[in-house]
Structures are given as structure tokens and as C-alpha cells.
């Protein structure tokens, strides 16, 4: 499992790099800075229980290349802590062409039913060794 840090003190632009035809099981630590102190983003404490993310060829393209969601288990939000997970099987990743795409991710709570959380470029890199 890979582990990445996500600094939420700035805007929510974060570029993802994913491997084609390999199981995706990555942990992303979300935090922001309060003065000089790093503070973990408390998903559960803030009431965030759902998330969805779409990857598209262009931001306004009608075709969705990949979808991640808490509904199907491809996004896992923590019940405590600040680390969320992205998951896809190797078979799901194999159907996506290598290349550069765009994505955005929303998280949901009773107060904020669709809060913009992350967006950026999603690069799918091809495998060299088969």
C-alpha cells in the first residue's frame, strides 16, 4: 500500500499518479496547517461520511473514465483519523488507457451535501514489465 500526504492548507489542487493494470490501494493523509501546527482533517468529526470522485478526459467531457465512491467501496473514509483510501482492482485499472486525465472529488455530510474537496490531473502510467 502506498501512502501520500495531502496538505489542505492551500487550495485543493492535488495531482494523482496511478499505475495501469495494477491493484490500486493507496492511503492519502489529509491535513491543514493552523499556524505552525499540522492538523489532521477529521472526516468523521466533521460529519463527512460519503465521497465521490470522477476521472474524465477533459473537465467538461461527457464520458467518465473512472468513478470512485464510498458507495462501492472504492473510496474509504476513516471513522477516525485523517487518512482516506482509494481502491480499484487491477482489472478495473486495465481498461483505462494510459494518459493524462482530470478529476474532482466531493465529500458529503448533512451540513454540506456536496463539498468540493480535491481536483487536479490524474495521470495513468503504463506498465513497463508485464
Contacts for 110 with CB less than 8 Å, ≥ 6 apart: 47
Residue 65 counted as domain residue: yes
Q: In this structure, is residue 15 part of a structural domain? A: yes
CA distance 60 to 69: 20
SS (H, E, C) 37-49: EEEECCCCCCCCC
Say which DSSP state 126 is in: P
**Residue 3: its pLDDT value, please?**
53
Looking at residue 33, its pLDDT comes to: 76
Range of the domain at 9: 2-125
pLDDT digit string (tens) for the chain, length 130 residues: 555 555 554 457 889 999 998 899 999 998 887 778 888 999 999 899 999 999 999 989 999 999 999 999 999 999 999 999 999 999 999 999 999 999 999 999 998 888 889 999 999 999 877 6
Q: Residues near 13 by Cβ (< 8 Å), separated by ≥ 6?
A: 118, 119, 120
Query: What pTM did the predictor assign?
Result: 0.85
Residue 14 sits in a domain of what CATH number?
2.60.40.3350
Q: Is residue 130 part of a domain?
A: no
Q: Structural domain tally of the chain?
A: 1
Amino acid at each position: 500500500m502506498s501512502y501520500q500526504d495531502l496538505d489542505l492548507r492551500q487550495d485543493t489542487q492535488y495531482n494523482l499518479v496511478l499505475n495501469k493494470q495494477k491493484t490500486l490501494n493507496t492511503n492519502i493523509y489529509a491535513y491543514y496547517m493552523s499556524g505552525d501546527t499540522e492538523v489532521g482533517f477529521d472526516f468523521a468529526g466533521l460529519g463527512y461520511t460519503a465521497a465521490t470522485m470522477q476521472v474524465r478526459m477533459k473537465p467538461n467531457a461527457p464520458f467518465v473514465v473512472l468513478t470512485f465512491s464510498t458507495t462501492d467501496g472504492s473510496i474509504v473514509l476513516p471513522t477516525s483519523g485523517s487518512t482516506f483510501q482509494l481502491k480499484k482492482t487491477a482489472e478495473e485499472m486495465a481498461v483505462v488507457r494510459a494518459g493524462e486525465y482530470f478529476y474532482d472529488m466531493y465529500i458529503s455530510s448533512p451540513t454540506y451535501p456536496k463539498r468540493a474537496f480535491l481536483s487536479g490531473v490524474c495521470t495513468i502510467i503504463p506498465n513497463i514489465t508485464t
